Chains A and B, each alone.
Chain A
């Protein structure tokens, strides 16, 4: 029943595992910027190559990185079609009713899909190579300036990290509820759109209920173990960044600049 949890930390000693979480987090944001700003074919090829290299460096099993993508195929199909069919462009390749397929639309659709794909992959590499509490600490220290505006930064970081922990549990539960509803005659496989929409309700309602129940139990368990607010906890070791961390930061900034200005 416990398959490979997607996007969860996987123990390892690779180069990426050893980097400082704060550095990794910034690197990821820089690379995400590169993904969003790129718009040329060579730019994409370059970033795909960088992502592939990171995957190799991380020494993670490919399944761990690609499983979350499999769940998104419907989402990808929909954004591709939306862009391909509705994008306003000149010289449609073919038109029918309100749909116009244009070269620009097709390329736009492909780009959006590719970008989301890269974003998911990159964030997966981050969460798979960083311990959850280190990630929480990194978020905390990067968001620290917001404390000036009295935003409870530590609590927000804790909430985010706990929420990530529960993704596999909830998706496992969604599968189970789906099976249970199918056993009682619910039809998820119907081809008619109206049926499909109606069949979502018996799935979503129980999942929401259970998520609330879990949150309630978890918060009680956290309180029982002495959690007051994230501010009054043992402070994380705050080492200065080391040479490899600076190298990684420089490299990711150069990658970002290259993808924007060169390609």
Chain B
């Protein structure tokens, strides 16, 4: 079943008297329980696209249904935002309280969840991202990765079906990125959430069930990471470079060394290289 289904999504805005077209009749279908990565260079419209999923941007043209809710209908907008949570790029700009516990409770209070249920749900959400024990800390005193996990908990407290991650690792150090990606992976595998992750780090796309490659405001391609990431021409057209193992494969290919398959991760690359003799 389709969790997110959009056809002919168009988005344009006017700047300096010229019409800037960001999305040009874009079609996208994301399945229930899928881990979808939306990949694209800067300015490819990926952030704009996902902001339509929870109606942060109004649909200008086209059709979009998210979890069975029509995203164009203004009356369902709050129900939509409850089933479709979103974490943003800058960890510092999404906290409303200087106490972790209160911040995670913010969404629950917005939906008028009875007060006596709130502490339990906050604790559960923090446990899901491995941040239990930090209830009374100030977000400012946490590392970048921890901040993003708290932000994720704030979304999970509302028990959404879909979690959208808008370049959540872009401002983190490598360790913070690992922490957040690990939480996201667990969320998808154990909690069976539909995850839509936007990124321009091509290595992160390897984790996906399906990769949606965006370029020039349209969907350039969609398929498994192996299909998309091992196609240098396709990636080049979208302004991206393939992951290092893929590049090494093609470099070796040029010098006459053939590996059995195109490796996606460093581990696969090592395996392939070891099988050479």
Contacts and interface: CB of A to CB of B under 8 A. Distances in A.
Interface of A: 2, 5, 8-9, 11, 131-133, 161-162, 165, 168-169, 214, 217-218, 220-228, 232-237
B110 A225 contact: yes
Contacts of B56: 220, 223-224
B78 A226 contact: yes
A227 B97 contact: no
Given A8-B138, A132-B97, A227 B110 contact: yes
A218 B118 contact: no
Contact of A234 (B78, B88, B115, B154): B115
A220 B112 contact: no
B95 A233 contact: no
Contacts of A5: 98, 138, 140-141
Interface in B33-82: 54, 56, 78, 81-82
A217 to B, nearest CB: 4
B109 interface: yes
A224 B102 contact: no
Contacts, number: 96
B112 A133 contact: no
A237 B115 contact: yes
B97 A133 contact: yes
B106 interface: yes
Interface string B181-210: 000000000000000000000000000000
Contact of A226 (B90, B111, B136): B111
26 contacts: A2-B140, A5-B141, A9-B98, A11-B99, A11-B136, A131-B99, A132-B97, A132-B102, A133-B102, A133-B105, A162-B96, A165-B95, A169-B140, A217-B90, A220-B56, A222-B96, A223-B81, A224-B86, A225-B110, A225-B154, A226-B78, A227-B110, A228-B110, A234-B113, A234-B118, A237-B115
Interface residues of B, number: 38
A8 B98 contact: yes
B15 to A, nearest CB: 16
Contact of A218 (B94, B108, B115): B94
B268 interface: no
Contact of B109 (A168, A218, A220, A233): A233
Nearest to B78: A226
B228 interface: no
Contacts of B118: 234
A226 B140 CA distance: 23
B76 to A, nearest CB: 13
Contacts of B154: 225
A233 B110 contact: yes
Contacts of A218: 93-94, 96
A216 to B, nearest CB: 9
A133 B95 CA distance: 12
B213 interface: no
Given A8-B98, A218-B94, A234-B115, A225 B106 contact: yes
Nearest to B82: A226
A232 B111 CA distance: 8
A1 B3 CA distance: 42
A108 B227 CA distance: 78
A221 B54 CA distance: 11
A132 B110 CA distance: 16
B155 A225 contact: yes
B95 to A, nearest CB: 7
A223 B141 CA distance: 25
Nearest to A127: B98
Contacts of A234: 108-109, 112-115, 118
B217 interface: no
B158 interface: yes
A2 B141 contact: yes
Among the interface residues A9, A162, A165, A169, which one has the most CB atoms of the partner chain B within 10 A?
Answer: A165
B92 interface: yes
